[in-house]
Chain A
């Protein structure tokens, strides 16, 4: 139990510049508190997020990855980038287990610029869930090896 407490997951968030990054900003403006386990990497659109970025993050020891874009169907600033992200992340989730990673560590969320509280809730939730899963199994293997 005490081990679980000590473990602080590291989460990488790939957020599109327009709605989802704005949601994270609004969480700040509204002073909604959430655990500091997430580091955000900004991209212009969720359609830019290459599955290899996500895999790389897991390989480098991320305990969780959040991909967030603008709401389906029509909020994406670039018309349909969010649909592209949806396809890619869904496919990637299917194969993650083959790499030895629980698919629950990867989340795809749609956030609008007024959903600051939801962004915070998602982070809170992810941190909780990943704490239960424990550290990234790839990392654990490395330690063992």
Chain B
């Protein structure tokens, strides 16, 4: 390597700042790709704002359900070190080799010793206002932020602690250390990702809404806690003032956003959707009839499937929408009810509500200026991180990247995509150091136990007094010893502690145990630890089982000691019956071809190709058209003005063409794909008609989208009616002249055929309107719109256009504008809602903001790859919230407009994200799959294909064997849900680790009466 001598060595580690969902995603992608990660957070645990949310839009998924597996994965990842209560104090060095100085606040708890058992919090006599519940509930002075917190380590709130010593006395792990001091640390990393998130707007600054003065005015984030089943009211919607169930709630949008007075001109981008979601969920959670009204300026439901949600909110759920900025809120002090003052139809109105929810916006995180100064990065005028259109994850300092709300206000899936994108960027500059800072674990060779009688060992946990204080643990141990095949049983103070792991290993060897049971807490968090322990003792990890005698026994039957003890015995008997039948399972190992196939050569496809090539992987890039560029070819200039998209396109194409690792096929098509993650084989039909077969480990779908060809408003019949793209081309060529222009929004979108928003047309219209005004300020420009969806910082340009005299007029579906040709003159008639009159203008040109619609190729590509499409015809990702660029099928990813319409910076973020996700596979020589998979007995299989049809992952294929068609499980794709096994009419499918035999044995044993 011709590296400069003066350059210090690069380091294969990354610092991620901020443990919200963005920081978590970036950390996991990096760690799964062979890099060491230090994840730091200011608070005592990771999870961020998402951990506080009740449900997420537009699927109404439970937030904690989808977040907590990621929390656990991060907490357990051998390549991730989480440093909580930490803050950056200094930075030295440069990209590839940074030295970061940290300061860590003390927890007053020895982290290594704390088991998170929580007895201390129960006994702590102090009650403190609980900020996780937004001040609506109470917690103790020794606490964790929330029950699923990672790391699950308690912390003492020293400001509130009275030093009574109760926790110290009660802590059996001796983890309390009152005199613990804060510490300093220095980390060496190659790159840095900033994901510090956002700060909710302080609603007291909008004093006219009465927040802080009137108890029944709450913020949206407080309302999330109210909605949450784990929140202060157990998920019931109650008024804070009197605990009454409200009958009428008002949601006030844009509090702290789009607000010139307080200097937050930008739109916070997520509030319209979460406001709607909160209204819908509140209705669902309230047994009696609840009226929910949303006061808004523009309903910005611009994301994928968002408008469909908006429709349902109005229709199915009956949420009322009022287009008006609320002027103020006053209170009736007698009832605690609130009067909302607003203007509708130019008339001031007042309406009474039981409760008001303020949809507060996002602000840059606290102390962000200090952070920026220490890191040497530039902030924009709103103090969010400054980035550029073509480099949305790059800060002004090389080697320091950004993602999530700190780059610009955004919702969860966009934060997640950008986080993966930032991970790609962060590893790109240290790709040569992959694998240098991580350790892989070595296990002793596995003992063959197939010939042995089952010899079960049972370890029963006291969990301090969590279990032992209720369940008679010695009695359970004694009972366990009487069970069939149990040859050893003992009690532990904390079965999960470091020293007990050593002890378990010894007992396995001394007693020749070949099955191990731990009766303690939940397998959801602790099973991996114990599996590792038995593996270290030479046992197959699937010879381990666990039963939960804490969360599902001692904690829920605290006052029934005897019955709880009996139940614990039942649980142990039940699991022992299963353990007896456990079989070792092999984790299938599959090799990976470190090559990528990318379908589509637009900005997304090219970006993904460059990222993968930069990571050192070979890429095949297939484009249907004669040249690369896709949709970007049609973009002449940007709303943000700074970059020249033409130049950027040229340099992008040039880098792709010049890159040795990228094989470009233009005028070509992928005609066939088979195989599975790590091992695909595909056929490309090249321009010359010849087919070429390639082998690859992953696929990225980047097929883009196309502009809708309008059939409405005389388009195609009159040359004076053009689309935004056509206008843009004319302006760029300098051939556009007009004295009067009318633009019509939502052409081909938000209608019956295509209910969703095409997202980018509002920005496009504003951009072109500004261009027209720039060249000829006296030209009149009208924009007829349904909602101006200039979200995020684009709001600035909306304002600019309005200031420059562009006239924005709202229209409703019931009164669409009319375009006519009257004796050669164009005439546009529309309803003017302010003066309440039909207005007629005679423009020279009518510009239609035509929707962006799916590429017609998508159908074919989807069938070939066996991946789903949305109703609209865009590709449907694995999960709308947390897996925005993955398909449910492993090894296949998507990005850019193939996913849904989006701006260039969003496509680039997703393209980098897809590359990062692909790298988690391509960077490994082989993949170790989960051992819990389905297995077909060929003798029993009748070839009925029910399993093939049922499997949501396409993991069952039919194979011909000896003249019979038989089902065959592709282990690499099987996720182990067991649905096929249950459906199999001939019982030919066994589900590893959850066999029918095992489950039935468990049922039988459970129903035997315990005798001891």
Contacts and interface: CB of A to CB of B under 8 A. Distances in A.
A56 interface: yes
B65 A36 contact: no
Contacts of B560: 36
B68 A22 contact: yes
Interface stretch (A26-34, A98-106, A127-135): A26-34
Nearest to B984: A50
B574 interface: yes
Contact of A116 (B230, B952, B976): B230
Contacts of B552: 24-25, 27-28, 40
B524 A21 contact: yes
Contacts of B556: 27-28, 31-34, 36, 120
Contact of A28 (B551, B570, B983): B551
Of A27, A36, A81, A116, most B-chain CB atoms within 10 Å: A36
B557 A112 contact: no
Give the size range of B's interface with the partner.
35 or more
Contact of A78 (B65, B563, B979): B979
B579 interface: no
B405 to A, nearest CB: 23
B230 A30 contact: yes
B553 interface: yes
Interface residues of A, number: 57
Nearest to A13: B552
Given A18-B65, A33-B556, A53 B1000 contact: yes
A62 B1007 contact: yes
A6 to B, nearest CB: 14
Nearest to B65: A113
B548 interface: yes
A77 B61 CA distance: 11
Contacts of B897: none
B918 interface: no
Interface in B557-594: 557-560, 563-564, 566-567, 570-571, 574
A25 B548 contact: yes
Interface string B754-773: 00000000000000000000
A54 B557 CA distance: 25
Given A33-B557, A113-B64, A45 B979 contact: yes
B87 interface: no
Interface in A102-143: 112-118, 120
Contacts of A81: 977, 979
B235 A117 contact: yes
Contacts of B548: 25, 28, 40
A97 interface: no
Contacts of A95: none
Contact of A60 (B65, B570, B1003): B1003
Given A62-B1007, A79-B952, A26 B65 contact: no
A134 B785 CA distance: 65
Interface of A: 10, 12, 17-19, 21-22, 24-36, 39-45, 47-50, 52-53, 56-57, 60-62, 70-71, 74-75, 77-81, 84, 88, 112-118, 120
15 contacts: A12-B1006, A27-B552, A27-B556, A36-B563, A36-B567, A41-B1002, A47-B979, A47-B982, A75-B62, A78-B977, A84-B950, A84-B983, A113-B64, A114-B54, A114-B228
Interface of B: 54, 59, 61-65, 68-69, 118, 147-148, 228-230, 234-235, 522-524, 548, 550-553, 555-560, 563-564, 566-567, 570-571, 574, 888, 932, 950, 952-953, 975-979, 981-983, 991, 994, 996, 999-1000, 1002-1004, 1006-1007
Given A28-B551, A44-B932, 6 more contacts: A29-B118, A36-B553, A44-B978, A47-B978, A71-B62, A114-B54
